[in-house]
Structure 1
Amino acid sequence: MSDCSFEVAIVGGGIMGAATAYNLAKAGVSVGLFEKGRVGGEQSSRNWGAVRQQERDPAELPLMLESVRLWTGLEEELGTGLDWYQRGHLSLAYDEKTGAEFEKWIPIGREHGLDTRMLSSKEVHDLLPHYRDSDCRGGLFTSSDGCAEPEKVAVAFARAASARGAEIFELTSVSSIESQNGDACALWTEQGRMRANTIVVTTGAWTSRLLKPLGIRHPSLWIRGNVARTNVLPIEIRKLVAWGKTAYRQRSDGRVNIAAARRAFHDLTTDSFVYGPAFLPVARDYWGRFRFSVGRHMVRSLMGEFADFTTHRTLDPTPEWKVLEQAAKLFAQEYPEAGPIRLERGWAGFMDFMPDNLPVVGEIPGHRGLFMAAGFSGAGFGMGPVIGRIMADLIQGNPTGHDLRPFSPNRFSKRIRTRESEHA
């Protein structure tokens, strides 16, 4: 196959790309979705499954409010079960400082119509009848938040898109984006040249590498998340997402996904030194939560492996088993009635973090017809449905109903040009 043509070509088969393909196909737009591995194979299936409005940046809240509304009808819309539960998000407090920080966020949520409130220690224990941690002083709770099964959602969007005429190309990497006179016009793929009037980049952790040859700066860093899954536990956690000494969500089969709460890992690569300075402000704020490692990812980046999108069909980093085992011990202390806990499976995935923790959404200035939705900084799963709708509207020239200026693709390049001009 070579020199095929689509109205819109999407690079990246995670939840953002698949949701965008679905919304475009539903509108009758000719669309091709290109994924170097399998649809949903990377972070879209490796996250915790949280659909969270709570503690979001105020700029993201309007999008999340709409996204939650979309989630409530998504199983019917896509014609398949997604294990969607709307039973809340709970962040636990063990000291006065954390409780005070939670209290400060409540007016932000209320301003946007959320039902967020502080729970007392007794209310937390009533909400979680098997929870037995006497250190808990209360928690921040948003009952309208929800969760779903990550392994199902991107695939469901892609299948629904295909049923409406979209073409899905798995195991088909995109090596480069072609432009003429500043207009994006084609993709070079393993199956040949694919022409398109519009190109959408939804490539997650790979975004900076794909855009770099076009002179587009996307200063994201790979942050590794680690998750483990337990055996079936004889307790009920009400299908909500909780953050405490650990982070956890109970699946519909009774197993529990557990992760280390507020712990981030960064495997140093050559990009760490290129984009690292942009992250110094956020690193100072969250320094105690970061762990850095030098190992095979640095060697691979030095060897240029990550510049070739066929060498890693799926990023599948090794999980931090010691950290996950410690998280499981803490969970067992909080839930002694769960009985013996075994970690049946563990995995890790790379999230693309931005210096301001906000995503990049929109058309890239100076590159007409080239759009992107990336940099969701570990909180993109819940946004998937609304981003798919917004991207489809942007591409078709329809109003999105949201202020997207905080997510502008050129907000970092502007800053760099200003610095350069000051030193010229």
Structure 2
Amino acid sequence: MALQFDTVVIGGGIVGTATAYYLARAGKRVALVEKGRINGEQSSRNWGAVRTQGRDPSQIQMMLDCLQIWRGIEAELGESVDWREQGQMRVNYDRKMTERSEAFMPIAREFGLTTRLLTAGEVAELLPYYDARDCQSALFTPTDGSAEPEKVAPAFARGASRLGATIFDFTSAKSIDVRNSAVCAVETEHGRLDCETIVLAAGAWTGRLLKPFAIEHPTLWIRGSVGRTGVVPIEMRKLVVWGKCAYRQRIDGKVNIAVAEDGFHDLMLDSFAHGLKFLPLAVRNWQNVRFSLGKPLVQSVMGEFSDFTTHRTLDPRPDWKGLARASKLFLEEYPSAGPIKFECGWAGYIDYMPDELPVIDALQKPEGLFVAAGLSGHGFGIGPIIGKTVSDLICKGRSDYNLAPFSSRRFR
């Protein structure tokens, strides 16, 4: 006999777990299915940034409201997620980078952000161990923050479970069933889950689950790599900084370091199917996009990524050469922190859209299917409000935000 729920959420990352939490809080009977472990993929592998700074204007009001969620998240969920409101900084080393920061300032003023442009001297005051000799300026938003990616989605999942949601980890969604043009169930590897609505928040896997409905979701998997050092001998401000590399010092004194600029794409069959849609983005960022021809292409040709049980957790190889370069760049900025040795490193696949905006949509056909995916590397910080927004769409039939920029129909 099939189990009966109001809503089934597919995907156990930050968006999926937050959606399940807010639906359960609204009194819905919720099931969350995840093919591997909760928080196994990109939601646990990002930088941990929670930022308004540098976002597209279409997302900023949502992000401002999301900051209110983050400020109360530990009291709400009853556990620590290492939330720190110490800011986000983008350090500028040349005129082009400075111009990008200056271009954001009118947007910051429009939305009343705390963002400001700093001189090199002001950067040195904020970061006492930082060598500011090459610095021209920096964009700084003191009310942005950070949290620990390894902790947040599991905390939302536990919160949802306490409110009555059922969490099915290591349970792959095989297909979405439709009756009379409306969703009616999710077929999983362990049985059928009947429901009235379905939320597809499956990150990099979303497009594959939408294919049977001929819904265009042109996402490419972009590989990002992060390394973690041992405890460094300097006490840095616990903010997220994007300079010659990207870094964040954790509460335990260790530092997560990432390659700041390079996007690494492992070529697959979808690369050729969606390539033309990404051409404008590739032209704008041609200096920062690298391509790899290797095992993932063979795996996609063999159909491995079409079987959701083949890869319970995507665990791509880190770009160790890139991380070695990043560690050297970090020492240029913080010479007293050396020598740098990585204790561990990891990589994750970001589901990247051609316009770098997510899909947050109640699909017209099939009715009852909601999509929240394509976060394009910007999803950790804004994930909780996206979960709440999808919950509102289901429970209230509306959202407080203009979701037109995030419609799936923009790719038709």
TM superposition score category, shorter chain reference? over 0.9
**1:365–1:409 contact (8 Å) kept in structure 2:** no
**Letter paired with 1:30:** R
Aligned counterparts of 2:100 and 2:318: Cα–Cα separation in 1: 30
Q: Which residue in 2 is equivalent to 1:119? A: 118
Q: Which residue in 2 is equivalent to 1:206? A: 205
**1:88–1:143 contact (8 Å) kept in structure 2:** yes
**1:220–1:355 contact (8 Å) kept in structure 2:** yes
Task: Kindly indicate whether residue 180 of structure 2 is the aligned counterpart of residue 176 of structure 1.
Answer: no
Q: Which residue in 1 is equivalent to 2:96? A: 97
Map Cα deviations across residues 178-206 of structure 1 (whole Å, 9 max, x no partner): 11121011111011111110000000000
Higher mean alpha-carbon deviation, 47-56 vs 394-403, is at: 394-403
SS at match of 1:179: strand
Once the 2 structures are TM-superposed, how far is the Cα of residue 400 of structure 1 from its aligned partner? Answer: 2.2
Once the 2 structures are TM-superposed, how far is the Cα of residue 398 of structure 1 from its aligned partner? Answer: 4.6
Q: Which residue in 2 is equivalent to 1:420? A: none
**Letter paired with 1:353:** Y
Q: Matched residue pairs, number?
A: 412
Q: Which residue in 1 is equivalent to 2:292? A: 293
Q: Which residue in 1 is equivalent to 2:379? A: 380
Q: Which residue in 1 is equivalent to 2:262? A: 263
Q: Which residue in 2 is equivalent to 1:233? A: 232
Once the 2 structures are TM-superposed, how far is the Cα of residue 308 of structure 1 from its aligned partner? Answer: 0.1
Aligned counterparts of 1:180 and 1:395: Cα–Cα separation in 2: 19
SS at match of 1:224: strand
Q: Which residue in 1 is equivalent to 2:351? A: 352
Aligned counterparts of 2:303 and 2:205: Cα–Cα separation in 1: 13
Q: Which structure 2 residue ranges, 5 or more long, are not aligned?
A: none
Aligned counterparts of 1:398 and 1:180: Cα–Cα separation in 2: 21
**1:365–1:410 contact (8 Å) kept in structure 2:** no
**1:251–1:257 contact (8 Å) kept in structure 2:** yes
**Letter paired with 2:196:** N
List structure 1 runs of 4+ shifted beyond 6 angstroms. none
Aligned counterparts of 1:98 and 1:282: Cα–Cα separation in 2: 18
Q: Which structure 1 residue ranges, 5 or more long, are not aligned?
A: 414-424
Q: Which residue in 1 is equivalent to 2:396? A: 397
Q: Which residue in 2 is equivalent to 1:8? A: 7
Sequence identity (%): 56
Q: Which residue in 2 is equivalent to 1:421? A: none
Aligned-residue Cα RMSD (Å) equals 0.9
Task: Kindly indicate whether residue 21 of structure 2 is the aligned counterpart of residue 22 of structure 1.
Answer: yes
Task: Kindly indicate whether residue 80 of structure 2 is the aligned counterpart of residue 75 of structure 1.
Answer: no
Once the 2 structures are TM-superposed, how far is the Cα of residue 216 of structure 1 from its aligned partner? Answer: 1.4
TM-score (ref. length: structure 2): 0.99
Once the 2 structures are TM-superposed, how far is the Cα of residue 257 of structure 1 from its aligned partner? Answer: 0.4
Following superposition of structure 1 onto structure 2, how do residues 22-421 of structure 1 map, counting pairs within 5 Å? 22-413=21-412
Aligned counterparts of 1:398 and 1:26: Cα–Cα separation in 2: 16
SS at match of 1:365: coil
**Letter paired with 2:334:** Y
Aligned counterparts of 2:288 and 2:332: Cα–Cα separation in 1: 22
**Letter paired with 1:150:** P
SS at match of 2:283: helix
Aligned counterparts of 1:144 and 1:411: Cα–Cα separation in 2: 32
Map Cα deviations across residues 268-322 of structure 1 (whole Å, 9 max, x no partner): 0000011111000111001110000110000000000000000000000000101
Higher mean alpha-carbon deviation, 38-47 vs 390-399, is at: 390-399
TM-score (ref. length: structure 1): 0.96
Once the 2 structures are TM-superposed, how far is the Cα of residue 104 of structure 1 from its aligned partner? Answer: 1.5
**1:116–1:143 contact (8 Å) kept in structure 2:** yes
**2:31–2:167 contact (8 Å) kept in structure 1:** yes
Map Cα deviations across residues 100-123 of structure 1 (whole Å, 9 max, x no partner): 221111110111010111000000
**Letter paired with 1:24:** L
Once the 2 structures are TM-superposed, how far is the Cα of residue 237 of structure 1 from its aligned partner? Answer: 2.1
**Letter paired with 2:138:** G
Aligned counterparts of 1:408 and 1:399: Cα–Cα separation in 2: 14
Aligned counterparts of 1:102 and 1:148: Cα–Cα separation in 2: 24
**Letter paired with 1:404:** L
Aligned counterparts of 2:122 and 2:271: Cα–Cα separation in 1: 44
Aligned counterparts of 2:274 and 2:179: Cα–Cα separation in 1: 28
